[in-house]
A and B are shown apart, each in its own frame.
Chain A
Amino acid sequence: RKEVEQDPGPFNVPEGATVAFNCTYSNSASQSFFWYRQDCRKEPKLLMSVYSSGNEDGRFTAQLNRASQYISLLIRDSKLSDSATYLCVVNKGGTYKYIFGTGTRLKVLA
C-alpha cells in the first residue's frame, strides 16, 4: 500500500463547478499536511497547508480527518486557470521527509 494515495483522475469539470479531491495516508504519526499545485512541466507550488480545524483560502477549502487518515481539497467556482495537477503531501513526524501522492489531474473546461 502506498503511503499517500490519490485518485489520479483526470477530473474534467465545467467552469463554475465545485470539485473535491481526497487523499489518504497510511502513517498515523504524520503531523503536517499540504496541498501543492503543479502545472505541466513546472515545479510544485504550495497551495495551502492543511490543519485539523480546516482552513479556507478564497475558493479553496482544505480539511484533515485524522481519525480516518484522509485529507480533502474543495475548489468552488472552478476557473480555467485551476487546471493543473494537485499533489497531496504528508510530512512524517515533522521531520525532513515530504511524502507525495501521485497527484490528481484537474481539467476545467470552458
Chain B
Amino acid sequence: ETGVTQSPTHLIKTRGQQVTLRCSSQSGHNTVSWYQQALGQGPQFIFQYYREEENGRGNFPPRFSGLQFPNYSSELNVNALELDDSALYLCASSLTLAGGSTDTQYFGPGTRLTVL
C-alpha cells in the first residue's frame, strides 16, 4: 500500500450542493496533487499543493478549490455541484525537492462522488 489515504470512500450529493474531500499524504511527502477520473477516461489534473499553496492548476473552474495543511494533508472543495462532477477523485502524494522537481506520485484509493 502507498500510505496515502482518502475520505470518504463514497459520497452521494445533489446538484448545487458543496462537497469536501480529504487526503492524507504518505509519510515523508510534502506535495499533494488532485485528479478527477470520469468513467472510461484517464485521470485529469485538477491542481497541486506544495507548502500550503496552490502550485499549478489544470483546466478546472474556480468552484474547484483546495487547501493544504501544515501536516501536508489536503482538502478538495467543490461548490455548486453539477452532474458532470460525478467521478472518482484521486489524490496523489509526492516529494518536491529543494530544487523544485517533484518525485514520483503515489495515489490514494480515491473518493467516488455521485451527483444526482
Contacts and interface: CB of A to CB of B under 8 A. Distances in A.
A97 B56 contact: yes
Contacts of A94: 101-102
Interface stretch (B13-21, B36-44, B67-75, B78-86): B36-44
Interface residues of B, number: 29
A43 B90 contact: yes
Summarize B's interface: helix, strand, loop or mixed: strand
Contacts of A98: 33, 35, 43, 45, 92, 105
Contacts, number: 57
A25 interface: no
A34 B104 contact: yes
Given A43-B90, A96-B55, A97-B56, A49 B42 contact: no
A100 B104 contact: no
Interface in A31-52: 34, 36, 41-46, 49
Contacts of B48: 96-97
B42 A95 contact: no
Interface of B: 2, 31, 33, 35, 40-45, 48, 50, 55-56, 58, 88, 90, 92, 100-102, 104-110, 112
